[in-house]
Structure 1
Amino acid sequence: MYVLSWNVQRLGNLRTFHDLRNLLQDKTPYIVFLIETRMTAVQMGGLVRRLGVGGVLYVPREWFFGGLYFLWNTGLQVVLLSSSSGHIDARVTFPNSFVTQITRFYGHPHLTRRIYSWELLRRLS
């Protein structure tokens, strides 16, 4: 099972999009987690359609920062368990009926607020 997690730092850049598309074609990951897309849901919707993934869960950006996207291949069943500006937690069922829980996490960028990120991780565990 391949999982790609990438802090893309603004996916709206055409070169970054092409790099992502090439990675998806070369590595064919089952799940892709994108951090810091800095895109609106409408902007990201167009890119997701062009990537041809099976499904998407997302947490929209706040102001001009953040944005988390959890993409998966066709054939997987994904159920959102919880989400916040710093995480997406989901139950994933594979075509062979294997079920797992996948939590993708992005800690708060400000040192003074990382205590909240650690608390979130404790609650998720």
Structure 2
Amino acid sequence: MDILINKPIKISIDTIEIDEHLPSLKLCISIDFERNGFELKTVSVAWFKCKVLDSFIKNLELSKLAVLKDMDGNFKLKIDTKKKKLYWSSLKEGINGNTFKSEGNEQIDLDDIDNILNAFKAYPKWW
């Protein structure tokens, strides 16, 4: 597990592949959510530019809106430090043209934001 966040929802991120020519990462992102008898698990595999990851971390450090979005726009993790909310969405198009989407948001506090920031800062960068 390269990045693990357990609160407010469980998010785990693993590196699958890297591309040094266009500094980017292929990540597997798993989100597990359970509240009041409702349970959801979504797994996304997508490419992210390294500079997007850097910008996400920097914006969290500066208490700005932080967005981690993949190259195709199918996955997004957004942290709004002013509204104290975490948003995520995941979209998958099947080979037969079907579209599947899951999304959610969660109220967060300053400790949650710090935990998320620390989890991303601990990621072993190669770029």
TM-score under structure 1 length normalisation: 0.31
TM-score under structure 2 length normalisation: 0.30
Q: Which has the higher helix share?
A: 1
Q: Which has the higher strand share?
A: 2
